[in-house]
A and B are shown apart, each in its own frame.
Chain A
């Protein structure tokens, strides 16, 4: 059973042909649309590397059937910056050394963007630690990740764009 779905990804419309209903959003992004910024770390909802925003909410794209998302708006790490201007979370990750190998990073960043949206800007350090615990980092860049999310929160509450 073939399906035709349309997704709005990072503001651009994409019509995707699926030969059956199996592909996850993650595999559609990576293998069919060529948006490989989103990473696969486990494919089972256990690491957070595949985190994207669907209609503004952070989810694990590896456990989301693409066909079910027909019509959804998806934001991936590729769609976060405003032209050459980095999103405050992206900038904070660089400045606070919130990554090492960078493989978990797109997921961390999308998760942080989603998380900061959920909390409304007054998350404590402990709340950040809990809220970001769905994103594993095997390199152990957590010190920088925590600092980056708190820093981004401060920047965004000041209305800063980067």
Chain B
């Protein structure tokens, strides 16, 4: 690991100042950044340790009914939070389906949003990867790419965003609060992630020095609480990233879907909000036919980026599954295997 300067600011302002220098990086839980530094694909000159910024550790209901989650809240604490469990259960399920108990104890909200793709070529300093340096090329294009993107990719980069947590965030239209050298601003999660372009690899809207201070969960998403699920397909029962995943939230009244929120994970460089699919559901009956139609709409523009055509069908199917599970109702108790296809069992039906 390259040696680096280390600072532990006491205030957000100090942190922003320190992180505004090129080559500076925030250090939160460290579970992604340290890993990347160990393999040598991230070599920051300085780390700005924000773990003592206690102002960023609170979960606070806002006057407008939304919930503000500090960027340094640990993933496990958030998943156990009573407001989350009652009002935004898919968030808890997504968090608990990710990584491991130990990692969730370290990982923070901000770090989770900012985690980098798990593409093997990105992790290999000797491979060409536009995320190492813009213009390096992309070895995944002609390489092992069975787990890569089927939506929103360009030949610049075909990696997917690995986060589970971000998928329900995208579905419910969470907002990201950032602070920085130019002051503070709120960004909708849709705009927070930038998809790859013809030259530019995927990334985030954050500018050098900007810090995520909080995430805001909108109050109108609470009405989905009775029917909100996150389902994640993986090739090991636990401790594995998603092959594809889906967050589905339904508001049903008088036998019809009044409102739907859908996002897919593991398909694109961002948590993929499927608005077209949501539209097909508005006013529809909550049945398999509607769900399939929605899934077709969600994947209408999908195309394989390599040897991964199967992911399109799997994404369709996981979305149908998540919608069904949501329609069946949020389980009264968190399933013992959160987010698992094997958890869509009795509790939910």
Please say whether the chains A and B touch (CB closer than 8 A).
yes
Contact string, A116-130, partner B, CB cutoff 8 A, digits 1/0? 001000001011011
Q: A68-B27, A68-B49 are in contact. Are A1 and B35 (CB under 8 A)?
A: no
Q: Is the CB of A133 within 8 A of B106?
A: no
State which of B2-10, B189-197, B252-260 sits at the interface with chain A: B2-10
Chain B residues with Cβ below 8 Å from A51 are 102
Q: Is the CB of A130 within 8 A of B238?
A: yes
Bound Cα distance A135, B101 (Å): 9
Q: Is the CB of B47 within 8 A of A44?
A: no
Q: A60-B31, A127-B336 are in contact. Are A21 and B102 (CB under 8 A)?
A: no
Chain A residues with Cβ below 8 Å from B8 are 68
Candidate in B27, B99, B103 with the most chain A CB atoms within 10 angstroms: B103
List which B88-106 residues lie within 8 A (CB) of chain A.
99-103, 105-106
Chain A residues with Cβ below 8 Å from B101 are 58, 111, 114-115, 118, 131-132, 134
Q: Is the CB of A65 within 8 A of B27?
A: yes
Dominant secondary structure at the A interface: mixed
Contact string, B280-292, partner A, CB cutoff 8 A, digits 1/0? 0000000000000
Is A36 interfacial (CB-CB < 8 Å)? no
Is B128 interfacial (CB-CB < 8 Å)? no
Contact string, A52-68, partner B, CB cutoff 8 A, digits 1/0? 00000111100111011
Is B30 interfacial (CB-CB < 8 Å)? yes
Partner of B238 from the list A1, A64, A124, A133 (CB cut-off 8 Å) is A133
Contact string, B3-30, partner A, CB cutoff 8 A, digits 1/0? 1111010000000000000000001011
Q: A63-B35, A65-B27, A68-B51 are in contact. Are A58 and B102 (CB under 8 A)?
A: yes
Q: Is the CB of A60 within 8 A of B106?
A: yes
Chain B residues with Cβ below 8 Å from A65 are 6, 27, 30, 34, 47, 49
Is B237 interfacial (CB-CB < 8 Å)? yes
Partner of A58 from the list B29, B35, B105, B336 (CB cut-off 8 Å) is B105
Contact string, B215-251, partner A, CB cutoff 8 A, digits 1/0? 0000000000000000000000111000000000000
Chain A residues with Cβ below 8 Å from B338 are 130
Partner of A44 from the list B6, B35, B336 (CB cut-off 8 Å) is B35
Q: Is the CB of A21 within 8 A of B337?
A: no
Q: Is the CB of B336 within 8 A of A63?
A: no
Q: A63-B35, A65-B30, A111-B101 are in contact. Are A21 and B239 (CB under 8 A)?
A: no
Is B293 interfacial (CB-CB < 8 Å)? no
Bound Cα distance A44, B34 (Å): 8
Q: Is the CB of A20 within 8 A of B336?
A: no
Candidate in B4, B6, B49, B102 with the most chain A CB atoms within 10 angstroms: B102
Is B199 interfacial (CB-CB < 8 Å)? no
Q: A22-B4, A60-B31, A68-B49 are in contact. Are A134 and B102 (CB under 8 A)?
A: yes
Is B38 interfacial (CB-CB < 8 Å)? yes
Q: Is the CB of A134 within 8 A of B103?
A: yes
Q: A22-B3, A24-B34 are in contact. Are A64 and B106 (CB under 8 A)?
A: yes
Bound Cα distance A3, B47 (Å): 14
List which A84-138 residues lie within 8 A (CB) of chain B.
111, 114-115, 118, 124, 126-127, 129-135
Chain A residues with Cβ below 8 Å from B27 are 65, 68
Q: Is the CB of A130 within 8 A of B336?
A: yes
Q: A48-B102, A65-B34 are in contact. Are A134 and B239 (CB under 8 A)?
A: yes
Partner of B3 from the list A20, A60, A63, A135 (CB cut-off 8 Å) is A20
Bound Cα distance A65, B101 (Å): 19
Is B300 interfacial (CB-CB < 8 Å)? no
Contact string, B321-339, partner A, CB cutoff 8 A, digits 1/0? 0000000000000001110
Q: Is the CB of A126 within 8 A of B336?
A: yes
Partner of B100 from the list A20, A21, A57, A133 (CB cut-off 8 Å) is A133
Q: Is the CB of B336 within 8 A of A22?
A: no
Q: Which residue of A lies closest to B37 (CB)?
A: A22
Is B1 interfacial (CB-CB < 8 Å)? yes
Shortest CB distance A68–B (Å): 5
Chain B residues with Cβ below 8 Å from A45 are 31, 35, 99-100, 102-103
Shortest CB distance A66–B (Å): 11
Bound Cα distance A84, B103 (Å): 31
Q: Which residue of B lies closest to A52 (CB)?
A: B102
Chain A residues with Cβ below 8 Å from B35 are 44-45, 63
Chain B residues with Cβ below 8 Å from A21 are 3-6, 47
Closest 6 CB pairs of A and B: A134-B100, A21-B6, A133-B238, A126-B336, A127-B336, A57-B105
Query: Residues of B at under 8 Å CB distance from A?
Result: 1, 3-6, 8, 27, 29-31, 34-35, 38-39, 47, 49, 51, 76, 99-103, 105-106, 237-239, 336-338
